[in-house]
Amino acid sequence: MAWAAGLWVLASNAKKASVAQPNGSAAARLTEEAPERLRRAGA
Protein backbone atom coordinates (compact mmCIF):
# COMPACT_ATOMS: atom_id res chain seq x y z
CA MET A 1 0.00 0.00 0.00
CA ALA A 2 2.81 2.41 0.79
CA TRP A 3 4.25 1.94 -2.70
CA ALA A 4 0.91 2.91 -4.25
CA ALA A 5 0.60 5.90 -1.93
CA GLY A 6 4.08 7.00 -2.93
CA LEU A 7 3.05 6.75 -6.56
CA TRP A 8 0.09 9.03 -5.87
CA VAL A 9 2.40 11.65 -4.34
CA LEU A 10 4.82 11.30 -7.25
CA ALA A 11 1.98 11.78 -9.75
CA SER A 12 0.69 14.81 -7.89
CA ASN A 13 4.15 16.37 -7.80
CA ALA A 14 4.62 15.70 -11.52
CA LYS A 15 1.30 17.39 -12.28
CA LYS A 16 2.26 20.49 -10.29
CA ALA A 17 5.74 20.58 -11.80
CA SER A 18 4.40 20.29 -15.34
CA VAL A 19 2.53 23.56 -14.87
CA ALA A 20 5.62 25.35 -13.57
CA GLN A 21 8.17 23.67 -15.85
CA PRO A 22 6.60 21.84 -18.80
CA ASN A 23 9.96 20.36 -19.86
CA GLY A 24 11.02 19.38 -16.34
CA SER A 25 12.10 15.98 -15.12
CA ALA A 26 9.11 15.23 -12.86
CA ALA A 27 7.11 13.48 -15.58
CA ALA A 28 10.17 11.50 -16.64
CA ARG A 29 10.69 10.35 -13.06
CA LEU A 30 7.05 9.32 -12.81
CA THR A 31 7.30 7.34 -16.04
CA GLU A 32 10.46 5.66 -14.79
CA GLU A 33 9.24 4.75 -11.30
CA ALA A 34 5.55 3.96 -11.88
CA PRO A 35 5.89 0.35 -13.15
CA GLU A 36 8.09 -0.72 -10.24
CA ARG A 37 5.93 1.01 -7.64
CA LEU A 38 2.79 -0.63 -9.06
CA ARG A 39 4.52 -4.03 -9.09
CA ARG A 40 5.57 -3.66 -5.47
CA ALA A 41 2.07 -2.55 -4.52
CA GLY A 42 0.66 -5.72 -6.10
CA ALA A 43 -1.34 -3.82 -8.70
* Mean per-residue pLDDT, 8-27: 82
Query: What's the full length of the chain, in residues?
Result: 43
Average pLDDT, the chain: 83
Nearest partner of 41 among 6, 10, 3, judged by Cα:
3
DSSP 1-43: -HHHHHHHHHHHHHHHHHHH-TTSSHHHHHHHHHHHHHHHHT-
Mean pLDDT of 7-31: 83
pLDDT digits (tens, 9 = 90+) for 1-15: 677 788 888 888 888
Among candidate residues 32, 31, 24, 26, the one with its CA nearest the CA of residue 13: 26
Q: What is the pTM of this model?
A: 0.62
Amino acid code (one letter) for 27 = A
